[in-house]
Amino acid sequence: MSLNPKMRDEAMAISPFFLGVPNSILIDDVVYQEPDPPDFMVKAMGKTIGLELTRSNPKRFGRSGFTKFGEFKKWELEKKEKPLPRHEFEWGTFTLKDSLAAFQDEVERKAERAKSYCARFDETWLVIQAEKGSPHGGLAEGKYNASPGREEEVLNFNGKHLFGLSKICEGALPFNYVLLFCGLEILALPVGKSAFNFPRPNEDLLRRGEKASDEYLDWSRTLSSVTRHYDESQGDMNAWLKNYK
C-alpha cells in the first residue's frame, strides 16, 4: 500500500474490482502511477493498460460536488460506534435522465484527459465505482428488483438504462473499455478494439432498451446504502441469514 493517502484510498476503493477481474482475465501486476493520470498501470497478457478510476454521480452537481458524501462519512462513523441490526443511509431521489447526463459528463471529461496519456499504453480503461450513491450498481450486479406484476416495466427501465450507458460509451475514445463495478460484479461496456474479452452486456436487455419508451427516462429512484450487523444476541446465524433483507 502506498504511503500517499490519496493513492491508498484509491487502492482500497478499486480492490473489489481486482478481486472480480480474474473471472474474466488474469492480471500479472498493478502499479501506481506517479504523477497521475492514469491512477494505475495494469500488466496482463503481455499488455500494459492505463487504468483511470472514478466514481459515478446520480446527477450533475455544482462546484461543491455531491455534498452527501460528507454526511455519508459521518454515518459510517456512527454505525461503527453504535452498531444496530440494520443501518440505512439515503442518498436522495433521481431520475434516469439525471443519472445518464451525469455519467456522460464524467465519461467525456475522463476521455478528454486520457488523450494526454493513452499513447504510453497498449490500452486504456475507465473503471467506475458503481456503489455508494451510484445509480448504476444494480446494472453492474445484474439485479433488477420488481414488485409482482411490474416485471416487464422494470426490465424496460433497466434496458433503457443499459442502452443509454452503452450509447454514451460508443464515443468514449481513447478508452478501450468503460468498466463499472459493484462489489465483485463487473459490467463491461466496450468502446474500441481490445485484446481482452470481458463478457458483453446482455443483448436482450439492450434490444429491449432500444425499443423502450422515453418515458422511462423520467422514472425516478431513491438510492440508499444499507449495512447489516450480526451479533450473538440476534440468535442463530443461519436463521439470521435466512431473514436477511
Inform me whether the pLDDT recorded for 154 exceeds 50. Answer: yes
Percent of the chain clearing pLDDT 90 (strictly above): 61
How sure is the predictor about 235, in pLDDT bands with cuts at 50, 70 and 90? low
Q: How far apart are CA 176 and CA 188, in angstroms?
A: 10
In the beta sheet, which residues pair with residue 124? Answer: 50
Using CA atoms, how far residue 125 sits from 42, 48, 181, 200, 231, in Å, is 10, 11, 13, 15, 41
Inform me whether the pLDDT recorded for 38 exceeds 70. Answer: yes
Q: What is the mean pLDDT of the chain?
A: 89
Using CA atoms, how far residue 63 sits from 55, 60, 67, 69, in Å, is 16, 10, 10, 14
Q: How far apart are CA 212 and CA 36, in angstroms?
A: 40
Only one residue has cell 484527459, namely 113
User: Looking at residue 240, what is its pLDDT?
Assistant: 41
User: Looking at residue 65, what is its pLDDT?
Assistant: 67
User: Residue 51's closest CA among 64, 39, 69?
Assistant: 39
Q: Who contacts 215 (Cβ-Cβ below 8 Å, separation ≥6)?
A: none
Is the whole-model pTM more than 0.75?
yes
**pLDDT tens digits, one per residue of 179-233:** 999 999 999 999 999 999 999 999 999 999 999 999 999 999 888 888 877 555 5
Range with the poorest average pLDDT among 31-40, 157-166, 188-197, 223-232? 223-232
Q: Who contacts 32 (Cβ-Cβ below 8 Å, separation ≥6)?
A: 2, 4, 7, 11, 39, 40
User: Looking at residue 157, what is its pLDDT?
Assistant: 95
Residue 178 corresponds to which cell in the numbers above? 468503460
Mean pLDDT confidence for 53-67: 82
Mean pLDDT confidence for 160-176: 97
Residue 59 corresponds to which cell in the numbers above? 446527477
Q: Who contacts 136 (Cβ-Cβ below 8 Å, separation ≥6)?
A: 56, 99, 103, 128, 130, 161, 165, 180, 182, 187
Q: How far apart are CA 156 and CA 130, in angstroms?
A: 21
**pLDDT tens digits, one per residue of 93-135:** 999 999 999 999 999 999 999 999 999 999 999 999 998 888 9
Inform me whether the pLDDT recorded for 245 exceeds 70. Answer: no
Q: How far apart are CA 17 and CA 40, in angstroms?
A: 13
Q: Which CATH architecture has domain 5-74+92-218?
A: 3-Layer(aba) Sandwich (3.40)
